[in-house]
Amino acid sequence: MSLQGKRAVITGSTSGIGHSIAVALAKQGCDVLLNGFGEAAAIEALTRDLAAKNRVKAFYSAANLATAAGVSSLIAQAQTDLGGIDILVNNAGIQHTSPIEDFLPERWDAIIALNLSAVFHAIHQVIPGMRRQGWGRIINIASVHGLVASPYKAAYVAAKHGVLGLTKVTALELATTRITCNAICPGWVRTPLVERQIEAKAKEQSLPLEEAAIKLLAEKQPSQRFTLPEDIGALTVFLCSEAAGNMTGTSLPIDGAWTAQ
């Protein structure tokens, strides 16, 4: 499954799922451009480590993807640093929980901007280059919440459902090319985003942190295990391979049987 010499942009990749995807692609020989938040020194160490361990090029963009201009900045830097884009992984996202009647409009706007609109803007901007080179992989990290809903997550669920619709449209428009577009739909993955939900449950129910984590799993994920970020990295590598060359428009759950219920 070597992807030697391919050039990948991974949004939201300074930690969690996105970072594991960047590591998995770098191990297969991809040059990578990271994007996300964090301390400058820590991010510099991440890119340096990725490059040295895998003998690839690794760069970082601090672009704010909440605006179309920010996405344009990211894609422009990728063209300069990497020389082109073969693989786009749309992973960046934020979360907020609240009943609909209390959901602040600015929170809704922020989640839709990053979790959905940024995905559109990035796809919109990479397709022409992928068409010219005759090959490309677009992978959208959605969620089980693109397939099913949970209360108090109106904006997140709406955005992730939108990502799956956008994935299908993109795949249909590119069906006769060698450019594919697929979505990965993780269940509970123990990332900083989910960690905050565990902490909130622990506080709300006066539970130890690990007991709150088990209760969170028990509510939705029959496997009773968190999906590992590395598992999502491995699935991303497969979708980039030639073995997945005719897989496009799919939404692949990796959710411990959450959506099988």
Active-site positions?
156
Phi, psi of 240 (to 5 degrees): -85, -15
Residue pair 89/21 in contact (Cβ under 8 Å)? The answer is yes
Sequential DSSP letters for 163-178: HHHHHHHHHHHTTTTT
β 58-61/31-35 pair status = parallel
Tokens of 167: 């994935």
88 vs 114: CA distance, rounded Å:
15
- Spatial neighbors of 102 by CB under 8 A, at least 6 apart, are none
